[in-house]
Structures are given as C-alpha cells and as structure tokens.
Amino acid sequence: MKEALSILCLVLLVSVSEAAITKPHFGDFIKCLRSRTSQENPINDAIFTAENTTTFLSSYVSYTKNKRFTSPNYKTLMAIVTAKHVSHVQATVVCAKSNGIQLRIRSGGHDYEGLSYMSSVPFVILDMFNLRSITVDVSSKKAWVQAGATLGELYTKINEASKTLAFPAGVCATVGAGGHISGGGYGNLMRKYGITVDHVVDAQIVDVNGKLLNRATMGEDLFWAIRGGGGGSFGVILSWKINLVEVPRIMTVFRVNKTLEQGGTDVLYKWQLVSTKLPETLFIRAMPQVVNGTRRGEKTIAVVFYAQFMGRADELMTIMNQSLPELGLKREDCQEMSWLNTTLFWADYPAGTPTSILLDRPSSPGDFFKSKSDYVKKPIPKEGMEKLWATMLKFKNVVWMQWNPYGGVMDRIPATATAFPHRKGNLFKIQYFTTWLDANTTEASLNMMREFYEVAEPYVSSNPRKAFFNYRDMDVGNNPSGQTNVDEAKIYGSKYFLGNLKRLMEVKAMYDPENFFKNEQSIPPARVN
C-alpha cells in the first residue's frame, strides 16, 4: 500500500501544475466556500486540494472501494470537501453551481462504477463520511441516520438500543447509508419487510439552491423520487428517518454447499420453484461460484445456499424437509444466534468474531471488480444453467453469482409506491461479480463479464432487460460526464426505473430544471434535450 501511495503521489506532483491550468474558477470556489460558512463551523480543515498531495490522496483513496478507480483524475478533480456540518454541504452545492463546477456526492464509496468520485470534467467531491450520527428511539421504533453512517454502525446502534429491532438493509457493513437507502437497498429481511425505501418516513436533503428540506418542505413528489431513484440526481441526502422492524431474539442461519457433482444444478432448479413460495420469514440466497474440483487442477461449480430464518432451527428443519429436501439440510448445519450476529455470518466472518468489527472503516480499496445485475421472471432451465456454468469456468479470476429470492411482501408492494420499481413478478435478482488482482487484466476481465451477461440474456427479463440501480453498471447505457442526452438517459433509466422513469424526470424538472446534479447515469429533467 505504501509503495502504491508513493507512485500515486509522484503522478500527482507531475500533474499539479497542468491540472491547475485546466481548473476554472477554482479560487472563486474556495473563496465562496469560506464566505458561506461561519467561524463556529469553519470549513478550512474540511477542504483538501491537490496542492497538499498526501492528505488529498489519502482522503480520495480511503473511500474508494473499487481498485479500478484508485487513481484520481488530477486534471479535473479540483477539491474534496469532507463536510462536517450541514452548512458545509450547503456551501459546497451553492459554490459549485455558481462557479460552473460539477459536484459528485460520496457517502460510503461503494458506487460500483465510481460515479460518486470520478468525472472527466472539472468537479468537486462532496464526501459525507463525517456526517454519521445515528439516533434510535425504541418507543416509536424509529431512527435518524445521517448519510455518512455505515450499515455496520447503524446495526450496532440499533442493537445497543434493542435486541428485537432491526432495519431491512444490506449485508455489507461498510456501505454508506446515503446511497444504499436512496437506491433501494435490499437484504435478507426483504421477503418479510421489503427494502430500505419501504421504511423511510422522513429525510433531510440539501436542494440545488442550498436549502435544507425535510419531507414537509420538499413535498411528496421529491420525497417519492429519492426513495429508490437515487439521491444524487435531486440533491444531497443529509439524513434519513427510518422505521425499524421487529425481529425475534433468536434467529437461525445456515450455509450449505452443493457442487455440480453433488447435484447442485438439480437443487438450484428446485430452489427456483420454491424460494419465492417459502414462508416470508425465510430467505435463502443461492450463490454459484467457481471452486477447486476433487482432482488436482480441476475446477467445478459449487452452489452455496445461505439462509436466514426468523425463528428456531427445529421449525426451519421442518420447513426445509417439506419444501427443499433435495438440499439435504441437517440440524447440525443450522446455527441459532441474535440478529446482530447474523450480520457477521452473512459477511463470512469466522464464528466468534466480535461484533465490534462492524464499526471498522477500511482506509484502502479492496480488489479490482466489476458487477452486473438481472431480474428473472421464470425459472432458468437446466440447460441454461449449464451454459452459465461453462462460461464461469472460462474465467481466469474469481467469479460468482448471487441469486436473491423475491416473493413475500415484495409481491404486495405496488411498483409505483416508491421510485424503486422491481416488485411483483420477479422470482429472483441476480448479481454477477468478478474480481482480479492485476491491473493489466482489467480489459480482459471486463470483456469476460460482458460475455457472461450475453450468455444469460435468453433467461432473464427483457423489453427492457432490467437492472438494479445500486449495482451500477455503465454497460447498460451512459452519458459523458458533462452532458445529459435524454434519449441515452431513457436507455439506462428504463432498465433501472421501468415505468417510474417518466415521473422521476418530471420531478427532476421541478426541483433541478437546469440539471446541476448530474453524472453519467443521472436522471435528466423532462424538458432537457
């Protein structure tokens, strides 16, 4: 890591003088920030610029989760503002807009395509990680969570207040609440309780004019749009007020592998038929992945079944023996534990790992990776699965899929209830994921993922082929950094938002008619051409 930082710093030093020439209104932007913030909440130590190479780079890299984007574009990145107060957020919005500088908003850094911290036109990163307060009110079963808080911090805080309350969000503890919730984040409670946006009851957002709005002052149209339409097209999400949900003190989890040689394809086919019809308190994720075979040098596919049940192991065994006996679940496969401990199980931490690990914030990126997504409406035939397995075995690096079951409450919430549209009619959602270690293999890895996606096409949703906004994928359509072509936006927008795109574009035209809040996959105002 030190060696990588040294190389990046060297690149930065070479680029600073050139970058300074290409950055318009930079001095005016900084002056504006200082004039719009008070001595009580000074902004100076929240501003990082390329002139201070070490702190600038470490600030950029610390919330850059995909190694594909660890080298910032020094020609265009003017500053990073690590806001510590709402006035810093307001000033950054107003000053960026008035000086013609693009704004990118980052809460946890998990944007799969780096759109929250990359741009090819002059821009500023507004980093929200310091704004991370969480307050839990057990009596009303509600909580306020700021955008920069991680899911791990939120889960820990909820558990400190109550052992029988939870929030139905994702399994990655380092994801920031701002982006995760606004994109319609999901997790293993979705069949019982739906997704994040189904439990948002209020929000604070800084609009294009720098005004701090809540649900009452923003109005129901904007409140609807930021629940699943992503916050970044409409303003800066400062905080969410969420309903908490009830969970039993003891829950049950299991993880069981079935390789192809053990009949994994047959078990997964049966899973497709039953996973959406199981009690909504039971969530079983299927995760096909490449593993070593029984013979040296041989590879095969193992389907790993991860399950979470809101109840005791004996009851779960009864359900599984009736509905999916092919899995061969044994009582000793089941582990009973608290809801907080299930979050460690889903993150693949070893048994006995202290829950304090949920509070860790990594300061450096993980691997290079690429993800894609699909929704499936009818079971994939076994011959289709075999084509997927053959493609996976061609990868030279790590590759896996996650098949996440729908059904339950997801079938009962209307597609228009929130901006997140993917509801009734889906059997499951697929995430495709590959990681690699060598930057020189990036292009080959991306091409392999595109081939994988193409092989899956006959078996997934079509017209449009749907995609999950939080699994950002530039391949489904994108605009250049500083432009928004409506026709192109409709291509990716129809995949992410389906029939809700039209209303999202109308809301955008009402609240940000000049299209200040934009990125390569943002929602355009209805009347912009």
**Secondary structure in 3-state letters for 33-78:** HHHCCCCCCCCHHHEEECCCHHHHHHHHHHCCCCHHHCCCCCCCEE
Residue given tokens 């997934």 in the structure block: 460
Q: Position 436: which residue type?
A: W
Q: What is the DSSP string of 343-374?
A: HHHHTTPPTT--GGGGG---SS---EEEEEEE
d(CA 221, CA 507): 6
Strand, helix or coil for residue 482? coil
Strand, helix or coil for residue 252? strand
d(CA 528, CA 233): 14
Catalytic residue among 471, 492, 496, 511: 471
Query: What are the Cα distances from residue 301, in Å, to 253, 266, 272, 286, 323?
Result: 22, 13, 17, 12, 24
Q: Position 260: which residue type?
A: L
Tokens of 143: 């909580």
- Apex CA 309: angle with CA 355 and CA 199, to 5°? 75
Tell which residue, 280, 285, 233, 294, has the closest CA to residue 255: 285
Tokens of 298: 């041989």
User: What's the alpha-carbon Rg for the chain, to the nearest Å?
Assistant: 23
Tokens of 397: 């690096």
In this structure, the strands spanning 123-127 and 102-106 are parallel
Q: Position 316: which residue type?
A: L
Tell which residue, 315, 305, 356, 321, has the closest CA to residue 336: 315
Bin 231: left if φ > 0, else alpha if -120 < ψ < 50, else beta.
alpha
Tokens of 77: 């990145």
471 belongs to the catalytic site? yes
In this structure, the strands spanning 368-376 and 428-436 are antiparallel
DSSP H or E run through 271: helix 264-274
How many other CB atoms are there within 10 angstroms of residue 450's CB atom? 12
Strand, helix or coil for residue 128? coil
Strand, helix or coil for residue 134? strand
Query: What are the Cα distances from residue 526, in Å, to 232, 316, 529?
Result: 17, 49, 9
Dihedral sign of CA atoms 339, 170, 422, 387 in order: negative
Tell which residue, 135, 175, 125, has the closest CA to residue 158: 135
Residue given tokens 């078996």 in the structure block: 459
Cβ-based neighbours of 129, under 8 Å, separated by 6 or more: 63, 82, 106, 107, 108, 148, 176, 361
Q: Which residues are catalytic?
A: 471
